[in-house]
Amino acid sequence: MDATGEAIEHLYREHAGQVLGPLIRQLRDFDAAEDAFHEALIVALERWPRDGRPDSPVAWLVAVARNRARDRLRREARRVPKEEAAERREVRPPTSDPADLVEEIDMVTIADDQLRLIFTCCHPALAPEAQVALTLRTSGGLTTTEIARAFLVPEATMAQRLVRAKRKIKVAGIPFATPEPAQRAERLDAVLHVIYLIFNEGYSATAGDQLIRRELCAEAIRLGRVLRTLVPDEPEVDGLIALMLLHDARRDARVDDHGDLVLLADQDRARWHHAQIAEGTALVEQALARRRIGPYQLEAAIAAVHATSPSAEATDWTEITALYGVLARIAPSPVVSLNRAAAVAMADGAGAGLALLDDLDRDGELSGSYLLHSARADLLRRLGRAAEAHAAYERALALVGTGPEERFLRRRLAEVAEGG
């Protein structure tokens, strides 16, 4: 790919949400908007090397795409009765020069349209996997191939998932709109959840040979920053961005040169990205100061304790346990209970943590998660109960999804078998 092609690809990734937002609002059709956007990219490939990059590439692309869409609609209008064309969409006469339309493009409106697009993609009527895929496609600028590869599904499966999501929006009449204030909190939760799902799939992949997919982590952080510019006064938005920054700051130390998992306690903290840690810590402190505490803020606060500890031994596990206690009260979940049990084991001893994990095991809510059995195995190993630890590691191995985690568990299993 030549330099111009690379620049166009970068522009697509960086501004897909900005360009597609106003197009979808005007055309009321995801596919028509994407087709127009692609046509605009082709025009840019032809004109930018000759004429130079415009001062406002986003406004230029929106203007050209809108112009091309109107050209297409005018051609369609000639082939159908006028009244049918009017029913489908109001069509303004096209202009031959995209520069004539650039002045009409209001960047504030584009920002509003981007927010509408994110909320539309995360509408509760769509299945969670469709919300994630559609958000990555329209707001993230990822191709269908890239999204399918990221979530380890066939490209045809992902393409069909996107088609169904777009059809659902059209058939169900889901409005391209930011929710009213009364509904915004509920819908904002869905948006935050989708962004965090994207980050988690990048941070700890559910399957495959790689533990970390950095492009997904980076995309989730970018989407969080976009959301923050559009919804600047929500502390949970700051909390989520902080949480992702603090976790992602450890990316270079989480696997070794062979791609194998390195536990937090064993990581080289000099390889952590400390500027990112400082930004995340400041964000969570700012969010907590607003005194509207939410789960993302609490999780970010826990991550900040880990990230700012000079060593594993200096970690304040008592504070972490207390924060998990608050989190368990306001947003209880089996995963929170699992993490709290691990923190209790560090603060009060392996026996105390194991008792909590045994309760979780009996509840059965995490029976299908390798994390529970791996955590139990580790505490049993620390308590010298080798046979039980061996059985727990075997259960974890049967459920693990990625190569690095499987290799880690097999090493632990071998150590237990050898009496290590």
Taking only the tens place, the pLDDT of each residue in 364-384 is 778 778 889 999 999 999 999
Residue 98: pLDDT above 70? no
User: What does the block give as tokens for 297?
Assistant: 């803020």
Residue 346: predicted pLDDT: 94
Using DSSP, state whether 366 is helix, strand or coil: coil
Tell me the C-alpha distance between 169 and 135, whole Å: 13
Q: Which residue has the higher pLDDT, 149 or 208?
A: 149
Residue 11: pLDDT above 80? no
**What's the DSSP call for residue 180?**
P
Residue ranges in 98-180 assigned as alpha helix (H): 99-102, 107-121, 128-138, 144-150, 155-171
Instruction: Tell me which amino acid residue 318 is.
Output: T
Residue range 323-341, pLDDT digits in tens: 999 999 999 988 899 999 9
Residue ranges of the domains in the chain? 3-105, 109-210, 233-315, 316-420
**What's the DSSP call for residue 178?**
P
Q: Which of 33-42, 221-230, 283-292 has the highest mean pLDDT?
A: 283-292
Mean pLDDT of the chain: 83
Q: Which of 98, 113, 150, 92 is nearest to 33 (CA)?
A: 113
Residue range 245-285, pLDDT digits in tens: 999 999 989 888 877 888 888 899 999 999 999 999 999 99
Mention every residue, 6+ apart, whose C-beta is less than 8 A from residue 32: 23, 69
Residue 150: pLDDT above 70? no
Tell me the C-alpha distance between 31 and 36, whole Å: 9
Average pLDDT, integer, range 293-301? 96
Q: Which of 19-33, 62-76, 120-134, 296-310 has the highest mean pLDDT?
A: 296-310
**What's the DSSP call for residue 249?**
T
Residue 117: predicted pLDDT: 86
User: What does the block give as tokens for 242?
Assistant: 């902080």
Tell me the C-alpha distance between 226 and 218, whole Å: 12
Output the CA–CA distances (angstroms, integers) from residue 240 to 187, 188, 199, 279, in the order listed.
15, 12, 10, 13
- Of 70-74, 273-277, 303-307, the poorest mean pLDDT is in 70-74
Residue 108: pLDDT above 90? no
Banded pLDDT at 12 (limits 50, 70, 90): confident
Banded pLDDT at 91 (limits 50, 70, 90): very low
Residue 81: predicted pLDDT: 60
Banded pLDDT at 305 (limits 50, 70, 90): very high
Residue 342: predicted pLDDT: 93
Tell me the C-alpha distance between 204 and 206, whole Å: 6
Whether the CB-CB separation of 109 and 66 falls below 8 Å is answered with: no
Residue 355: pLDDT above 90? yes
Tell me the C-alpha distance between 317 and 376, whole Å: 18
Euclidean distance between the first and the last CA atom of the chain, given in angstroms as a whole number: 53
Residue 155: predicted pLDDT: 87
213 φ/ψ angles, rounded to the nearest 5 degrees = -115, 95
E strand or H helix at 282: helix 274-288
| CATH superfamily label, 316-420 | Tetratricopeptide repeat domain (1.25.40.10)
Q: Which of 163-167, 403-407, 411-415 has the highest mean pLDDT?
A: 163-167
User: What does the block give as tokens for 58?
Assistant: 């986003």
Banded pLDDT at 289 (limits 50, 70, 90): very high
Residue 356: predicted pLDDT: 93
Residue 420: predicted pLDDT: 54
Tell me the C-alpha distance between 351 and 345, whole Å: 7
Q: Which residue has the higher pLDDT, 187 or 152?
A: 187
With 0-12 / 13-18 / 19 or more C-beta atoms within 10 angstroms meaning exposed / middle / buried, residue 75 is exposed
Average pLDDT, integer, range 232-239? 93
Angle at 166 between CA 165 and CA 167, to 5 degrees: 90
Average pLDDT, integer, range 218-225? 85
Whether the CB-CB separation of 187 and 119 falls below 8 Å is answered with: yes
